[in-house]
Chain A
Amino acid sequence: KNEVEQSPQNLTAQEGEFITINCSYSVGISALHWLQQHPGGGIVSLFMLSSGKKKHGRLIATINIQEKHSSLHITASHPRDSAVYICAVSNTDKLIFGTGTRLQVFP
């Protein structure tokens, strides 16, 4: 079993829909990261959080430390949101990555 599990693995949506991506982890962490990667591209850090909730524009990330669970929400999704979203946790001295969620948003 992976230490960081994401669901769903693939997600398609129509423009404007509300999207949720989930991340569960089984190890102790100091922080959880949500990352975005466009096809063939580098990785962009969206959020780093250790408790509660953060919001940037249309993106919201929440974490429940007791349940070892985090969610990434995208409101009013847009085709430019199409990318792979990766959850990663800081554990001792390295990041442990989830396998990613591939999101496609159609106009």
Chain B
Amino acid sequence: DTEVTQTPKHLVMGMTNKKSLKCEQHMGHRAMYWYKQKAKKPPELMFVYSYEKLSINESVPSRFSPECPNSSLLNLHLHALQPEDSALYLCASSQIRIDYEQFFGPGTRLTVL
């Protein structure tokens, strides 16, 4: 299984809602990543988890809260988002570190009203 899955595919939420994005991989990868991608722009790194521990937070606002419950799962909890947070959120994983091949999920398209 060389797949990274993400749910949901699409999400519409109001600024007062709380929602979560979910990412799963069963390739035994120990590094997992959250990226944010705006239209016609490259992905921007948000968080890196290495061996289930948060290793990088790219100064992401606290309304985004990552969680890695186990080595296969990565969540992104969303609370009090702004319309400018509307974007495609991509999850990725790699064997150990950033210089290993990254496998990307299909993304969650988030719209904040």
Could you tell me which A residues sit within 8 Å of B by CB distance?
30-31, 33, 35, 40-45, 48, 86, 88, 90, 92-95, 97-100
Question: Do A95 and B107 touch across chains, with their CB atoms under 8 A apart?
Answer: no
B11 at interface, CB cutoff 8 A = no
Question: Do B48 and A100 touch across chains, with their CB atoms under 8 A apart?
Answer: no
Task: Tell me the nearest residue of chain B to A98, going by C-beta.
Answer: B42
Which secondary structure characterizes the binding site on chain B? loop
In the docked arrangement, what's the CA distance between A97 and B35, Å?
Answer: 12
Given contact pairs A93-B48, A93-B55, A94-B45, A45 touches B103 in the complex (Cβ within 8 A): yes
B113 at interface, CB cutoff 8 A = no
Note all chain A residues with C-beta closer than 8 A to B56.
93-94
Task: Tell me the nearest residue of chain B to A92, going by C-beta.
Answer: B98
In the docked arrangement, what's the CA distance between A83 and B43, Å?
Answer: 15
Q: Mark B41-85, 1 if CB is under 8 A from A, else 0.
A: 111010010000001100000000000000000000000000000
B32 at interface, CB cutoff 8 A = no
Question: Do B102 and A45 touch across chains, with their CB atoms under 8 A apart?
Answer: yes
Could you tell me which B residues sit within 8 Å of A by CB distance?
41-43, 45, 48, 55-56, 90, 92, 97-107, 109
Note all chain B residues with C-beta closer than 8 A to A42.
90, 104-107
Task: Tell me the nearest residue of chain A to B104, going by C-beta.
Answer: A43
Which secondary structure characterizes the binding site on chain A? strand
In the docked arrangement, what's the CA distance between A15 and B19, Å?
Answer: 44
The 10 closest A-B pairs by CB, nearest first: A97-B42, A42-B106, A90-B99, A30-B99, A43-B104, A31-B99, A48-B101, A90-B98, A42-B104, A42-B107
Note all chain B residues with C-beta closer than 8 A to A43.
43, 90, 92, 104
Interface centre among A42, A48, A88 (most CB of B within 10 A): A42
Note all chain A residues with C-beta closer than 8 A to B92.
43
